Amino acid sequence: MTFFYQTLMDELIDIVDENGNYTGKTCLKSEAHTHGYFHPTIHVWLYTSNKKILLQKRALSKKVFPGLWDISVAGHIAAGENIITGALREVKEEIGFDILPENLHKIGTRKHMVNHLNGIIDNEFHHVFIAELTIPIEELTLQKEEVAELKLFDLETILHIKDFENFLLPQYQDYYSFVHKQIVTALS
């Protein structure tokens, strides 16, 4: 049964080159993480009209950064899947929130390269989006394999990630500051 479960979680993804261009090749996510193949992913930052940001605590079963606070929703784009379709799918799967495509705003693409101690090589292009969370947090449904907890924080929190305990990758403060600026602009 373990093999069957792992196969379901090991999705087929597109391989891109070091500039983010699609190569026409695909592989399993586990292969990309073993060999360091670049691939597309999404980051969706959800905020509220009263200047809160939704963060998720990663499930303890995650292979990298278990139990750490992270972006509202992040995930891999399936092979052949449109980036926006993948972002909408990931938000629905991880937290049970339906976003209309016109309410999802792309703010950039970010090249990201990390070699983890457990051997996973994350070479990814994050397609970064922001969107307003328009329902109460209590109405969200967690995908237990991915998300342990959701919590709303003051938007200013992401400007001070390095001072925040158990937050994923505090060294990327410039990225979090960029996201903060984009959300503030969207709220004005």
Instruction: Give me the chain's average pLDDT, please.
Output: 91
Domain ranges of the chain: 2-187
Query: Is residue 158 exposed (0-12), middle (13-18) or buried (19+ Cβ within 10 Å)?
Result: buried
Give the global pTM: 0.91
Please, which pLDDT band fits residue 63 given cuts at 50, 70 and 90?
A: confident
* CATH architecture, domain defined by 2-187: Alpha-Beta Complex (3.90)
Q: What is the pLDDT of residue 9?
A: 65
Please, which pLDDT band fits residue 167 given cuts at 50, 70 and 90?
A: confident
Asked if the model's pLDDT at residue 4 lies above 50, the reply is no
